[in-house]
Amino acid sequence: MPEKPLQPWDKEEVILALSLFVEGGGKTYGEDSKEIIELSEQLRSEYFCPDGLPNQKHRNPAGVAMQVASFVRLDETDRKGLTAGQLFQDVWNEYSFNKHGIKSSDANQSIKKLRRDADTILNRLKHRDLEQKTWIFQWNPKKWGDEEFLEELHPGYYGNWSANQSYLEMSHGDRMLLWKAGDDAGIYALGTLRGDVFTRKKSDQINQSKDIERAINFEIDHIVDPPLLKEQLKKIPGLKDLRIIKFANATNFKVSHLESKLLEDLMFNETSWVYVNNGPGKWTITKQGVHKAIEESIRIGRKKFLSKYGFGESTTYCLKYEDEIFDPKAITGVAYKWSNPEKKPLTKEQLSGGRNRGHANWCLSELGFQIVKIDTVIDIEKGKESSSRTRDTETGRARIYEIPPRGSSKGQRKEADLQNEYKKYLEKKKHKVLSYELRSAGGRRSLVDLFDESTNELYEAKSSSAHEYVWKAIGQVSYYAHLLDRTEVDIKIISILLPSRPEDELLEVMKKLKIVCVYKQNNSFKRVEVT
């Protein structure tokens, strides 16, 4: 396939080139000089090339050196150099170098302004580089293991991968796509990089012949099922030129922001499926269908909804949506009707409600919905705990189990991570921590994030310490405390859990309302008491 033609320079690129020329006192640079190589790398970065390099010669050191040298003719007409293009002349004149050159005292103010402008551009470039990146990690089953490796993968799987290329750019929190090489080449899993690149011990090296072998830890977030195969990707504009498709002889491949977005759209296409008992194949469920089923449950009420479609109450797991909870098996069954026009809803006999592949809970989590295990049900109307849900007897303490949702927002993941981290923090102090499902008059069901039974403290967690998040948390935790006042649960403290310290004004409001603020600080948590 022919490469795209060379792209014209834009103003920001010219400003960086002019800055290098001026800071060097007007000298020219060789293509292998460190200054030209650094500028070339900057101009080839994703800040300037968000859709990837248009061709391999784009802003290479030889071309960049020639363009920097084009300012020579503008500075001193008796020196030879490449004729400067119109944009180069315009930028030169904008800083008034056409009036006083670059070496006179009159040029001082122009040089200061040029430095400020160049620094602004470099700061933007640096900020873009700090954004989350996406990497493809290639696995060759013939070279590094058999097909059983794929069967072992599951959300939460933790391991490390060789970082042979671009290891200096890899960062904690970057996304990773697992690519299987071979006949069925393609993307089979999505994960997140954890921690920094490290050097493997000699005894742990995969290739013992290497002097140094670098790697980075990763965690699998979900399995791409069905996988995105190479033959499929080759037919999609914007993805057919993926580096791993054109140059497959490597372990790690950086993916551009545009490519990452296109791949994400393919993986999170808002459709999933369930197996049906005594039925053939996979039965499609859409995200829109799930939303329609939730809306119907809210509109007619939970009891009528379950009665209408012949489902019972969920006994183990619940669907959490906008701080209310629903019966996942019933929602899935009705979602099938909304997902497939002229089809009937699936019945409770046709569906399995577990979290295994093809079951209702798995299907909902694949669509990005949050599935939680409730420790205790509190019926507000009866004013006491229900015996239908109890504390986890195996571990001897209460816990919430969350199925990681596919395509969940960063806020959802951050809030869940914060809750789990604080829960472990309390448990290390020998506290007993529960989650509560609250059932109020009219069938409304809400989920209390955390309840510390050891101190009788009620928590509401949020993924951000921004104003709107804190105000919502204040309203929710106050409402939950109001409901629990009618029960046998003794609430002594109400608290808000945040990822960082909120503004002082918000802390003052919380103190007046007698709400404790708990926020993360470094690797621990700090409390702001009400007194």
Judge contact between 162 and 215, C-beta under 8 A.
yes
Peptide bond into 61 cis (omega under 30): no
| pLDDT for the residue numbered 322 | 74
CA nearest neighbour of 222 among 258, 262, 192, 182: 192
| pLDDT for the residue numbered 176 | 93
| pLDDT for the residue numbered 392 | 30
Q: Please state, in angstroms and rounded to a whole number, the distance separating the CA atoms of residues 264 and 260.
A: 6
Question: How far out from the chain centre does Cα 520 lie?
Answer: 20
**Over the range 155-189, which residues count as b (16 or more CB within 10 Å of their CB) and which as e?**
beeeebbbbebeeeebbeebbbbbbbbeeebbbbb
Q: Please state, in angstroms and rounded to a whole number, the distance separating the CA atoms of residues 528 and 531.
A: 9
Q: Any idea where the domains of the chain sit in the sequence? A: 11-130, 134-256, 268-370, 374-531
| pLDDT for the residue numbered 76 | 66
| pLDDT for the residue numbered 398 | 28
Range 134-256 classified under CATH 3.40.50.150: no
Query: Which residues of the chain fall below pLDDT 70?
Result: 1-5, 51, 76-81, 126-131, 144-147, 269, 374-413, 439-444
Strand partners, 272: 285
| pLDDT for the residue numbered 317 | 84
| pLDDT for the residue numbered 395 | 27
pLDDT digits (tens, 9 = 90+) for 46-85: 778 876 777 778 899 999 999 999 998 887 655 666 778 8
| pLDDT for the residue numbered 81 | 61
Q: Please state, in angstroms and rounded to a whole number, the distance separating the CA atoms of residues 274 and 353.
A: 10
Q: Which residues contact 110 (CB under 8 A, 6 or more apart)?
A: 95, 96, 97, 100, 102
| pLDDT for the residue numbered 211 | 84
Q: Please state, in angstroms and rounded to a whole number, the distance separating the CA atoms of residues 336 and 273.
A: 9
Residue in the structure block whose two tokens are 């995969």: 206
Tell the burial category of 233 from Cβ atoms under 10 Å away from its Cβ (0-12, 13-18, 19+). Answer: buried
Q: How far is CA 131 from CA 169, 173, 254, in A?
A: 11, 9, 13
**SS3 assignment, position 18:** helix
| pLDDT for the residue numbered 206 | 82
Strand partners, 379: 384, 439
Q: Please state, in angstroms and rounded to a whole number, the distance separating the CA atoms of residues 476 and 455.
A: 20
